[in-house]
């Protein structure tokens, strides 16, 4: 996986995300390849539970910013670094930022700050200001992220080569000017964040706490948080200004609703379990080792350690305590699937989907995916319907295309299986592979049929 942006990551990190591909023809049949490519440059991780939580944090703030109708979405990036940034119409939040914020309000403050950048159009203004590889290189050096220039941005290898030479000669005056400019935007984003928090009746304390923690550097072992710090220098006067405004304008002592605090703890537990297993979970919940977050992390870490029977028992205990938590049922389904009990897994996913008020397409597709694993031929039609329903609402789901292809193959429909594989590659941002499979699909599909035309759409896309 290309991990380009995980090393440059900053608020206004769009310098190098150009795409080398353009669509021809009337319109994109799927999410645009530029969109898929943008995601594929990042280690994006899909998880309905955490995505829903972050979307719930962002929604009222976007409304307060007057941006709720702008189609802005939040994306989760799989990186232990503490970071969040905006790119295009998306707010990217690292798993590390979720794991290292102790309260919802701390992460909400960071998201409010990012929305401040969106509202201010900072990213676009910075891009207008910066020109070409030269400034890219300067900015990368500035951010202590020189590696990014050497990183593989598809289609930008020329720029990367030029950048490498310029870094050594980089103009100090230009660097200072850009740094000053960016720090100005940081203050504006801070002020906007406080106003969004005030409008939504939320405390600005979390933002202050996060800045203070970053400044102390105490929770970050090694380099964690370094990238965020390099783009978000938090000198004393900045923190002081944010704290002053937060105390004056927001309900400073208001705490998070307990239900939200619990969701935050559960999200942190899941991230800790996947990132570092049982030891990370224990470390994270050292103050509350019998709390629900610790128990959830423990169950997931047990599952990941391959002890499915024990993990199932632990999940059943959690479900008894919180029968209406959709994500507990989803995790139970994951464990059952791993244990080869596909039918039961499908039932757990179905229960989760029923309880999930966010109507997650990922969950819907999972029901079908479990049926593909479990079922005999008779289940494949239903599996296909379920996966397609999930993809309808959430097409950026590469796993789902793999299962869709398997289901078609089981039915002996090789043409549609190849087409599903082509669409999977398309959504992963890999146009070359998408074309290979689209061509294979066309050879087997009825010419002129809707499926054949879908394959044709992919084949018509031109590389620049
Ligand atoms: Zn910022």
Query: Over the stretch 205-233, which tens digit does the pLDDT of each residue have?
Result: 999 998 888 777 644 444 555 556 555 65
Residue 80's pLDDT band, with cuts at 50, 70 and 90, is: confident
Name the residues around ion ligand 1, CB cutoff 5 A.
11, 186, 189
Q: Does residue 385 form part of some domain?
A: no
Show the domain range for 29.
Answer: 4-249
Most confident of 145-149, 174-178, 361-365: 361-365
Q: Does residue 388 form part of some domain?
A: no
Mean pLDDT of 48-76: 94
Q: Does residue 88 form part of some domain?
A: yes
Mean pLDDT of 430-442: 94
Q: Does residue 14 form part of some domain?
A: yes
47 sits in the region (left: phi over 0; alpha: psi -120 to 50; else beta) called beta
Q: Does residue 99 form part of some domain?
A: yes
Domain count, the chain: 1
Q: Does residue 418 form part of some domain?
A: no
Q: Does residue 42 form part of some domain?
A: yes
Q: How far is the CA of 167 from the centre of ligand 1 (A)?
A: 24
Q: Does residue 331 form part of some domain?
A: no
CB atoms within 10 A of CB 395: 17
Query: Over the stretch 67-79, which tens digit does the pLDDT of each residue have?
Result: 988 889 898 999 8
Q: How far is the CA of 358 from the centre of ligand 1 (A)?
A: 29
Q: How far is the CA of 231 from the centre of ligand 1 (A)?
A: 7
Q: How far is the CA of 312 from the centre of ligand 1 (A)?
A: 42
Best CA proximity match to 356, nearest among 329, 338, 382: 329
Q: What is the pLDDT of residue 44?
A: 83
Mean pLDDT of 403-423: 95
Mean pLDDT of 438-456: 95
| Lookup: tokens for 103 | 């309260």
Specify the long-range contacts of residues 166-175, CB closer than 8 Å, at least 24 apart: 166/133, 166/134, 166/137, 166/138, 167/137, 167/138, 167/140, 167/141, 170/137, 170/138, 170/141, 171/138, 174/135, 174/138, 175/138, 175/141, 175/142
Best CA proximity match to 304, nearest among 347, 329, 338: 338
């Amino acid at each position: 996986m290309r991990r380009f942006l995980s090393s440059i990551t900053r608020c206004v990190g769009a310098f190098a995300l150009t795409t080398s591909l353009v669509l021809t023809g009337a319109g994109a049949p799927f999410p645009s390849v530029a969109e898929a490519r943008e995601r594929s440059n990042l280690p994006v991780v899909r998880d309905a539970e955490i995505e829903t939580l972050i979307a719930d944090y962002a929604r009222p703030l976007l409304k307060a910013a007057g941006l709720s109708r702008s189609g802005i979405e939040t994306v989760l990036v799989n990186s232990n670094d503490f970071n969040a940034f905006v790119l295009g119409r998306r707010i990217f939040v690292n798993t590390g930022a979720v794991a290292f914020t102790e309260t919802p309000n701390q992460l909400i403050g960071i998201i409010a700050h990012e929305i401040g950048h969106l509202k201010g159009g900072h990213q676009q203004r910075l891009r207008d200001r910066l020109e070409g590889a030269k400034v890219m290189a300067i900015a990368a050096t500035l951010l202590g992220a020189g590696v990014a220039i050497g990183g593989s941005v598809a289609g930008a290898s020329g720029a990367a080569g030029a950048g490498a030479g310029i870094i050594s000669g980089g103009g100090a005056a230009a660097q200072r000017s850009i740094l000053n400019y960016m720090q100005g935007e940081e203050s504006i984003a801070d002020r906007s964040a406080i106003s969004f928090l005030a409008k939504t009746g939320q405390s600005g304390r979390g933002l202050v706490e996060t800045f203070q923690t970053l400044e102390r550097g105490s929770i970050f072992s090694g380099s964690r948080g370094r990238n965020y710090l390099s783009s978000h220098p938090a000198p004393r006067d900045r923190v002081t200004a944010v704290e002053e405004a937060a105390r004056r304008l927001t309900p400073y002592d208001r705490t998070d609703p307990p239900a939200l605090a619990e969701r935050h703890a559960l999200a942190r537990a899941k991230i800790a379990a996947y990132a570092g297993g049982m030891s990370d979970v224990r470390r994270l919940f050292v103050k509350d080792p019998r709390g629900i977050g610790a128990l959830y992390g423990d169950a997931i870490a047990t599952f990941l350690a391959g002890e499915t029977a024990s993990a199932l028992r632990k999940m059943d205990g959690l479900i008894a305590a919180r029968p209406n938590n959709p994500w507990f049922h989803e995790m139970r389904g994951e464990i059952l699937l791993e244990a080869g009990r596909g039918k039961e897994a499908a039932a757990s996913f179905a229960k989760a989907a029923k309880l999930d008020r966010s109507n997650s397409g990922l969950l819907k597709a999972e029901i079908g995916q479990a049926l593909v694993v479990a079922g005999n031929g008779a289940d494949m039609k239903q599996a296909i319907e379920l996966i397609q329903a999930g993809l309808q609402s959430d097409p950026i789901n590469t796993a789902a295309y793999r299962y869709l292809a398997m289901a078609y193959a089981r039915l002996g429909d090789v043409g549609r299986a190849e087409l599903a594989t082509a669409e999977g590659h398309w959504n992963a941002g890999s146009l070359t592979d998408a074309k290979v499979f689209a061509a294979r699909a066309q050879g087997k599909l009825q010419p002129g049929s809707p499926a054949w035309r879908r394959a044709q759409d992919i084949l018509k896309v031109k590389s620049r």
